[in-house]
């Protein structure tokens, strides 16, 4: 797990090697253990690496790494969990290995199979391989986009990196937030391509890109989940057993490391199940001996407090929980650091940033987490709503009652006749309105974000036509979003309605953003996250399941609950309400964060920034703080965070130029 960066200069002007060192240093937090650089002077190509040593931490694992014959050079960020098995196969084919790293296995696999190696890998990755003889650069991203790969092609230089900070540090780089991305829901930037930094794109999950001597990047999708669905056991009991075995193996292979492991625990079903399964399969020969540390951020006394649930899991597993504390209001410098680390504006990152910082301070380098369960198995309220209304529309009363039980549990309500009548009235009213589809569209995060913020944006460079330039960019974003969503839905067209909705959440509008968030906030402290529920074997298995295996018997995520029976305390396993591993934003704004928002909004930099109407937004924020309207202040927080991010990236650029 590391930070990678590269620059291929297609003009006559190369980048000074020392200056490129400043670009590598911008990612020092991702790889605090070592750094390395490679320069092909004839091609004017630079590769850089910051190393987080997890497998074979000796100098033999340093990057950039060159193949045995010297023709290939790789920079790699990620983990291939089945590298032992792939290396064994390659050894039988005549390849020789000098290290115990998965990096060397990737080089040999590329030499043996080319891009055909990608489906053979089980893991998370973003890497670039330079072919010195063919003068081509090949890069790829893992199936679900766990690891980032950002790139920019300005016609003179093709550059790539793990984070936006590296682009800010590059010579001759314009550091400017992208107004269209800010307006058009930055939650979806991992899905569509454009990022918050003008000119920088994110390679979509499951894609590869090739760059030849003409300098033009050519993207291609190499993975479609719906094309790899397995045949399931014929009975639900058989499906539960197979799911349990796959989850156990997904945890087992993610415990391959030469450094201490930890587990992040929210107290919800997903993270609790992963913690329990790690405990169940841990202690095997050949794995690190330090794998039993559990960390939780309970947020006691706030609306997000799940400490009692997490404590139950800890007691059941016989583990001592290490509690992490975000300490928001008292340390503005920590907030600035977390915002720059996050490189996003759609959530407040300090809580999660502090959580992984505390893990690293305790000596943990790898955290095994529970991401993906909600999107795979229907953990969100909106999934039960869709299923419930479809059952009502299709006149299937028994099915409607089953989904109603689940919905009431998620709301924390008892399953009573009165409560069911209320739900029935809601569903009947929704179906009776001719404009229901339009109303649903209006509540989509993309549309609501656009509607709420467009009026405060001005043209980034004030070209002739003014705001029309923004509208054109917004139109491009809308077209890209529609194309991506259409492609995802076409992939899932053979699945049922609920499975299609889950597929879309997993591949388009929810999980990609979550994975992006956790990558930035964990790697800011040099902590690698591994997620067993994102094992591709488990994902394809869960995608093929019938609806009742996901939502049924009064519960969401039914098959996961049944698979971990006996591993968790029953109150946690059968828990129906849902909070999530999130920051209590309203509580923090009322507790001191609101004052910081006012300080930022009244600063001359914010008021004068040409991305938005600074005076109008400043006045709104000041008024909301004065009257204690924390919900209104929360709705404008993204402007404050955008300003903090812009200032942070500008500081990165100044430091790099000063070297």
Closest CA to 79 of 107, 106, 39, 97: 106
Note the pLDDT of residue 388. Answer: 81
Report the C-alpha gap between 384 and 250 in whole angstroms.
28
Q: How far is CA 16 from CA 128, 152, 171, in A?
A: 21, 19, 9
Report how far residue 243's alpha carbon sits from residue 615's, in angstroms, rounded to the nearest whole number.
55
Supply φ then ψ for residue 90, to 5 degrees.
Answer: -70, -35
Which tokens sit at 336?
Answer: 């600035």
> DSSP string covering 15-53, please?
PPHHHHHHHHHTTGGG-BTEEEEEEETTTTEEEEEEE--
Strands 150-153 and 157-161: antiparallel
Looking at residue 400, what is its pLDDT? 86
Helices (H) and strands (E) in the chain, counts: 29, 17
Distances 353 to 307, 325, 356 between C-alpha atoms, Å: 18, 10, 6
Looking at every residue in the chain, the average pLDDT score rounds to 87
Alpha helices in 283-368 (DSSP H): 307-317, 332-342, 350-361
Q: Give the residues across from 152 on adjacent strands.
A: 159
Residue-wise pLDDT tens digits, 623-647: 999 999 999 999 889 889 999 999 9
Report the SS3 class of residue 579.
coil
Q: How far is CA 212 from CA 65, 116, 130, in A?
A: 21, 19, 10
Which two tokens mark 363?
Answer: 């000596």
For residue range 75-121, what is the model confidence (pLDDT) as tens digits? 999 999 999 999 999 999 999 999 999 999 999 999 999 999 999 99
pLDDT for position 604: 96
In the chain, which stretches have pLDDT less than 70?
Answer: 185-186, 284-289, 299-304, 326-331, 431-471, 579-582
**pLDDT on residue 128:** 98
The answer for residues whose C-beta is within 8 angstroms of residue 464's C-beta and 6 or more apart is none
- Whole-number pLDDT of residue 584: 76
Strand order in the sheet with 150-153: 34-40, 45-51, 2-9, 157-161, 150-153, 201-202
Q: Cα separation of 409 and 414, whole Å?
A: 7
Taking CA atoms, 516 is separated from 202, 343, 378, 510, in Å, by: 11, 10, 21, 10
Q: Which two tokens stand for residue 273?
A: 């199940």
- Alpha-carbon distance of 102 to 536, in angstroms, equals 18
CB 566 within 8 A of CB 575: no
CA pair distance 165, 156, nearest whole angstrom = 20
Helix (H, G, I), strand (E, B) or coil at 254: coil
Is residue 574 within 8 A of residue 610, CB to CB? The reply is no
d(CA 527, CA 30): 8
**504 conformational bin, left if phi > 0, alpha if psi -120 to 50, beta if neither:** alpha
Q: Is 618 exposed, middle or buried, given 0-12, 13-18 or 19+ CB atoms closer than 10 A?
A: buried
- pLDDT reported for residue 222: 98
Q: How many other C-beta atoms lie within 10 A of the C-beta of residue 489?
A: 16
Q: What is the pLDDT of residue 455?
A: 45
Evaluate whether 617 touches 381 at the Cβ level (below 8 Å): no
């Amino acid at each position: 797990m590391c930070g990678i960066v590269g620059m291929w200069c297609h003009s006559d002007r190369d980048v000074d090697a020392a200056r490129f060192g400043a670009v590598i240093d911008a990612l020092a937090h991702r790889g605090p253990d070592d750094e390395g650089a490679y320069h092909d002077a004839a091609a004017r190509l630079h590769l850089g690496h910051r190393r987080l040593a997890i497998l074979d931490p000796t100098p033999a694992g340093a990057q950039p790494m060159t193949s045995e014959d010297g023709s290939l050079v790789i920079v790699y960020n990620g983990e291939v969990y089945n590298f032992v098995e792939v290396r064994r196969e390659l050894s039988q084919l005549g390849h020789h290995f000098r290290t115990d790293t998965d990096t060397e296995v990737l080089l040999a696999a590329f030499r043996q199979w080319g891009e055909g190696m990608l489906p053979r890998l089980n893991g998370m990755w973003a890497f670039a391989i330079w072919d010195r003889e063919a003068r081509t650069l090949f890069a790829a991203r893992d199936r679900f986009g766990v690891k980032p790969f950002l790139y920019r092609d300005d016609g003179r230089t093709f550059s790539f990196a793990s984070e936006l900070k590296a682009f800010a540090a590059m010579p001759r780089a314009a550091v400017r937030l992208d107004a269209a991305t800010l307006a058009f829901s930055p939650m979806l930037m991992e899905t569509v391509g454009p990022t918050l930094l003008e000119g920088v794109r994110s390679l979509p999950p499951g894609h590869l890109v090739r760059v030849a001597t003409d300098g033009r990047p050519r993207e291609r999708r190499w993975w479609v989940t719906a094309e790899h669905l397995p045949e399931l056991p014929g009975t639900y009991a058989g499906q539960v057993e197979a799911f349990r075995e796959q989850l156990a193996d997904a945890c087992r292979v993610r415990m391959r490391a030469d450094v201490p492991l930890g587990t992040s625990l929210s107290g919800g079903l997903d993270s609790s199940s992963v913690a329990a399964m790690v405990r169940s399969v841990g202690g095997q020969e050949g794995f690190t001996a330090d794998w039993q540390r559990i960390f939780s951020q309970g947020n006691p006394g706030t609306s997000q407090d799940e400490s009692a649930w997490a404590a139950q899991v800890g007691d059941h597993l016989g583990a001592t929980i290490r509690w992490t504390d975000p300490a928001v209001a008292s340390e503005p410098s920590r907030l600035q650091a977390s915002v720059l680390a996050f490189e996003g504006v759609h959530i407040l990152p300090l809580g999660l940033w502090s959580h992984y910082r505390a893990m690293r301070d305790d000596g943990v380098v790898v955290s095994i987490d529970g991401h993906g369960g909600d999107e795979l198995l229907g953990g969100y309220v909106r999934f039960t709503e869709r299923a419930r209304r479809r059952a009502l529309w299709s006149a299937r009363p028994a099915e409607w009652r089953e989904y109603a039980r689940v919905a009431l549990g998620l709301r924390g309500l008892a399953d009573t006749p009165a409560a069911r009548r209320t739900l029935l009235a809601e569903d009947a009213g929704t179906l009776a309105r001719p404009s229901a589809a339009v109303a649903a569209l209006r509540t989509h995060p993309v549309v609501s974000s656009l509607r709420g913020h467009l009026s405060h944006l001005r043209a980034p460079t004030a070209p002739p036509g003014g705001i029309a330039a923004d509208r054109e960019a917004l139109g491009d974003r809308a077209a890209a979003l529609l194309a991506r969503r259409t492609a995802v839905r076409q992939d899932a067209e053979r699945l049922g309605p609920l499975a299609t909705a889950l597929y879309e959440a997993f591949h388009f509008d929810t999980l990609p953003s979550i994975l992006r968030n956790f990558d930035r906030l964990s790697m800011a402290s040099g902590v690698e996250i591994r997620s067993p529920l994102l094992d591709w074997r488990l994902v394809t298995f869960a995608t093929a399941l019938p609806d009742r295996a996901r939502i049924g018997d009064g519960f969401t995520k039914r098959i996961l609950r049944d698979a971990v029976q006996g591993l968790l305390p029953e109150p946690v396993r059968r828990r129906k309400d849902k909070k999530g591993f999130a920051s209590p934003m309203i509580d923090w704004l009322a507790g001191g964060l609101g004052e910081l928002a006012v300080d930022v909004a009244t600063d001359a930099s914010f008021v004068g920034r040409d991305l938005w109407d600074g005076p109008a937004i400043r006045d709104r924020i000041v008024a909301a703080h004065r009257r204690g309207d924390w919900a209104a202040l929360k709705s404008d927080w993204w402007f404050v965070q955008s300003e903090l991010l812009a200032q942070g990236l500008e500081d990165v650029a100044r430091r790099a130029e000063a070297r």
